[in-house]
Structure 1
Amino acid sequence: MKVRFLICSLFLISFLGLKAQENFSATVNFKTEPTDKINFSETDVAVFYQKKLGTKSKIANTLEYSNLKVNYEFNPYNFYADQDKFNQVQNKFEYSSEITEKTKWQLSLIPTVNFQSKLDFSDLTVLGSLTVSQQLSSKINLIVGAGRTSIFGAPKITPIVAFDYKMNEQTDFKIGFPDSRISYSNNARNQFSLTNSFNGNFYHLDETNTDNNAEKAVLSQMTSALEYERNVTGNWFLNFKAGYDFNKKYNLLDKSDHKVYDYNSGNGYVLGIGIKYKQ
């Protein structure tokens, strides 16, 4: 009950501030990722807003709640009954500003609580990143930086690099690490994207597993997908995603982030659908 109250309060605070912002969006996404041994399904709700601070700076904030359910299909003895549901409440704050006309920098701070069912202060982790973008020409932008991320499961320092080439008004190429995207829009209402991303997450366990001292469940994979977004009417958008997870890992770690158990989940495909309100 306390966890539900906290989540609802966070969303209420965000919605109260939306009218004062320049633009915002609210999204709901559903995703399923079945593998050979384990089926993963995730529901995600997020609220985003941004505001300009003068002519050279702006802030953005994304408040997000996600719920991951894990179905151990080949588990006749219900051995993993206490590890079938995980929750995350995350707030991403971004500040960006111009250094010169062609050079910008961006700082992001991401406090996140990742837990099973019992929310505790020890579940709080702070992630974030710092990047610098340099406009090389009217069509080419280079982005470099580093961040503390969870793309490989447990939080660690990772590089960030991207080469962004806007071929024309309809087509944009962004090649880099951890995310790459090729986007094409044939009109104002349709957008097609081919994406590749390294992504992952971690969750603190309610109780330490006495058999192997596991304190954290972590997931990671590389996902290649085809995405389609459709502006159905006014400010409402629908999006669809179909892809495949490569090198998918689902492990348990101890307090030193050493692997103590491997579920050997195997790879699998990804299917997702979402709805967005944007203005």
Structure 2
Amino acid sequence: MKIRLLIGSLFLISFLNMKAQEKFSVNANLKTEPTDKIDFNETSIGISFSTAINSKNKIKNTVEYSNLKVNYDAGSFEVFENLDQFIELKNKFEISHEISNTKLNLSLTPTANFQKTLDFSDVTLLGSFEISQQLNLNTNINVGVARTAVFGYPQFLPTLSVQYKVNDKSALMIGFPDSKISYSNNIRNAFSLTNSFNGTFYNLDHTLIANNGTKISTSQMTSAFEYERNVDKNWFINFKAGYDFNKKYNIIDNDNHKVYDFNTGNGYILGIGIKYKQ
């Protein structure tokens, strides 16, 4: 119980220290992804605060919780059927500083990824540093480095994106790990096509003796169509439909080497969410 309290304090320390918040949002999402022999169902909720310290500095803090449930076809993976639920907690603290046409963006994200029992060993520090340069009125480029788990385990990777505002209704972003084409025909409707590399990992409660497996690793490239509707002044609903390519669901060891491959195959994804913001 003490461990849970201390880890909770680590995640909430920056969240509670924010004062005079200017912006606030809460979102909840449901997502399902069936594959040939395994179905993945995820629920998540996030709470975010952001504020401008002054004209050049802004901060944002987001606390997120997600619960991944895994359903195996009967008889397909009997040895691993106890690997059916995984939890992720993360607290993302972001700060940006503007210098002329350049913006410096820093994020720190302590994250806890575990099966059922939370411990200090489950906490990992992720984050990123990015330089954003405004090239002209409609174009800016972002270059940086991130410690991220988009390929299923923590590692340092370069990040790059070019953002271009086509007109008042549409915009384009091309880069790694995320790309996006967005369009809004009015103030209530927003449409987008996205492509992203994404993944995570979860520490197992007990080492799998047969192969020294200590973590579950998931990763994929997701292409999706998303629609968001502003149904009221502060309320939004969103729908997501897409497909996961190069889907990987593996057991890995402490050195992030694959020790078992579930060979899930690819699968389509469907998601729905609701958001409140002010």
Equivalent residues of 2:112, 2:123 under 8 A apart = yes
- Counterpart AA for 1:235: N
Q: Aligned partners of 1:103, 1:156: CA distance in 2, in Å?
A: 27
Q: Aligned partners of 1:27, 1:91: CA distance in 2, in Å?
A: 15
Q: Secondary structure at the match of 1:199?
A: strand
Q: Give 2:127's aligned residue.
A: 128
Higher mean C-alpha displacement, 14-23 vs 175-184: 14-23
Q: Give 2:23's aligned residue.
A: 23
Q: Aligned partners of 1:12, 1:105: CA distance in 2, in Å?
A: 24
Q: Aligned partners of 2:182, 2:118: CA distance in 1, in Å?
A: 39
1:44 aligns with 2:44: yes
Q: Aligned partners of 1:261, 1:77: CA distance in 2, in Å?
A: 12
Equivalent residues of 1:44, 1:64 under 8 A apart = yes
- Counterpart AA for 2:215: K
Q: Aligned partners of 2:198, 2:140: CA distance in 1, in Å?
A: 23
Q: Give 2:235's aligned residue.
A: 236
- Counterpart AA for 1:242: A
Q: Aligned partners of 1:43, 1:3: CA distance in 2, in Å?
A: 24
- C-alpha deviation, 1:179, in angstroms: 0.1
Q: Aligned partners of 2:145, 2:134: CA distance in 1, in Å?
A: 19
- Counterpart AA for 2:119: D
- C-alpha deviation, 1:24, in angstroms: 1.0
Seen in structure 2, the aligned counterparts of structure 1 residues 127 and 7 have a Cα distance that, compared at 3 Å, is closer
**1:1-279 maps to which residues of 2 (within 5 A)?**
20-75=20-75, 78-99=78-99, 101-279=100-278
Equivalent residues of 2:197, 2:220 under 8 A apart = yes
Equivalent residues of 1:41, 1:69 under 8 A apart = yes
Q: Secondary structure at the match of 1:187?
A: coil
Equivalent residues of 2:14, 2:61 under 8 A apart = no
Runs of 5+ unmatched residues, structure 1:
none
Equivalent residues of 1:7, 1:89 under 8 A apart = no
CA offsets 1:28-62 (integer angstroms, 9 cap, x no match): 00000111111000000000111111110111011
Seen in structure 2, the aligned counterparts of structure 1 residues 14 and 278 have a Cα distance that, compared at 3 Å, is farther
- Counterpart AA for 2:138: K
TM-score (norm 1): 0.94
Runs of 5+ unmatched residues, structure 2:
none
- C-alpha deviation, 1:81, in angstroms: 2.5
CA offsets 1:213-271 (integer angstroms, 9 cap, x no match): 00010000000000000000110000000000000000111111111000001000000
- Counterpart AA for 1:49: F
Equivalent residues of 1:18, 1:24 under 8 A apart = no
- Counterpart AA for 1:263: F
TM-score (norm 2): 0.94
Give the percent of matched residue pairs that are identical in Structure 1 and Structure 2. Answer: 60
- Counterpart AA for 2:73: E
Equivalent residues of 1:38, 1:74 under 8 A apart = no
Q: Aligned partners of 2:9, 2:132: CA distance in 1, in Å?
A: 36
Seen in structure 2, the aligned counterparts of structure 1 residues 15 and 164 have a Cα distance that, compared at 3 Å, is closer
Seen in structure 2, the aligned counterparts of structure 1 residues 278 and 234 have a Cα distance that, compared at 3 Å, is same
- C-alpha deviation, 1:77, in angstroms: 6.9
